[in-house]
Amino acid sequence: MISTIVSVLETWALRQKGDEVLLATWYPDLKYHAVELTFIPVLMFMLLIYSAWKLVRSKTSYESLLLAFDPPKETSLEEKISLGILIGSWTMTFVQRWIKSDLLHLLLPCFMSQILLIIVILYPNKRSVIPTMLFNIYLYTQWGGLAALLFPDLRDHILPGETINFVIEHLIILIAPLFLIKSGRYLILPSSRDVYMFSFAIYIMYNCPFVQCLGLFLDINLNYLQVPPPGNSFFFNLFLL
C-alpha cells in the first residue's frame, strides 16, 4: 500500500512541474507522505473516538456547567467589531480568490476558523452545546493563525489590499477570541486533556486526509502539505512531525 501511495505522489509531483525539479525539492521524502496518508488518519480517528467517549462520560459535568451558565443578553461592542472585521475580511478574501480563480484556497484552516468564529458569534443561544463546543475546540487549535503570521507566504499577493487583508484576517482570529472571553457570553470549559485530544484529532483529520487528499486530487498544494514555501523549512518540519 505504501508503494502505491508513493507512486501516486510521484505522479502528482511530475504533473505539477512537468520535470524532476519538484521531486528534488520535495519536503519531506515522498515515503514520509505515504506513511502519513496511511497511518495518520487511522490514528487520529482512533484518538477522536477515544476522546469523544471520554467526553460523553463527562457529559453530566458539562451539562451542569451549561445549565448554570447565565450569559449577558446584550452583545458587547467588541463582539460587534470582531464580527464586522471577520465578515469583511473573509468577504474580501473570497472576492480576491474568485478573481484569481482560486476559491479552494478558502478551505485552508485559517479561513475556516473565520467561518467558525462567525457562527459562534451569530448563534442565538449562547447556552447551547453547539457554540460552546465550537468555541472551546477552536481555543485549542488557534495556533495555526499565529504560525501563518510568523511564517507568511506572500508570493501570490498581486491584488490591491491583499497583503494587508492577510494580516488582518490572521490577527482577528487571534484577537477575537479574547474579546469573546471578555464579554462573558461564551462558556469556557475547564482545561481538559480530553477536550484537547478531541480538538487536536479534528484539526489534524481536517488537514489529513481531507485537505491533503483534496489537494492531491485537484493538483493544488493546499496548506503546504505536499510542498513547503521557499525559505527556512524548520517550522514546517516541526509541523509535519
Which of 199, 141, 147 has its CA nearest to residue 170? 147
Which pLDDT score, from 0 to 100, does residue 225 have? 60
Per-residue pLDDT in tens (0 to 9) along the chain, 241 residues: 666 666 666 666 665 554 444 444 455 566 666 777 778 888 889 999 998 888 888 777 777 888 788 888 888 899 999 999 999 999 999 999 999 888 888 888 889 999 999 999 999 988 888 899 899 999 998 888 888 888 777 877 888 889 999 999 999 999 999 999 998 899 888 888 888 999 999 988 888 778 877 777 776 767 666 566 655 555 555 555 5
Which pLDDT score, from 0 to 100, does residue 192 have? 84
Q: Nine-digit cell at 118?
A: 462567525
Which pLDDT score, from 0 to 100, does residue 95 have? 94
CB contact at 8 A, 173 and 145 = yes
Which pLDDT score, from 0 to 100, does residue 28 have? 56
Q: Whole-angstrom Cα distance, residue 139 to residue 197? A: 12
Q: Whole-angstrom Cα distance, residue 91 to residue 154? A: 19
Which pLDDT score, from 0 to 100, does residue 19 have? 44
CB contact at 8 A, 202 and 52 = no
CB contact at 8 A, 180 and 79 = yes
Domain total for the chain? 1
- Angle of helix 143-150 relative to helix 109-122, nearest 10 degrees, comes to 140
Which of 188, 152, 189, 192 has its CA nearest to residue 168? 152
Which pLDDT score, from 0 to 100, does residue 118 have? 96
Q: Whole-angstrom Cα distance, residue 165 to residue 13? A: 31
Which pLDDT score, from 0 to 100, does residue 237 have? 54
| Domain with 172 in it | 2-240
Which of 211, 217, 199, 231 has its CA nearest to residue 36? 211
Task: Please state whether the predicted TM-score (pTM) of the whole model is above 0.85.
Answer: no
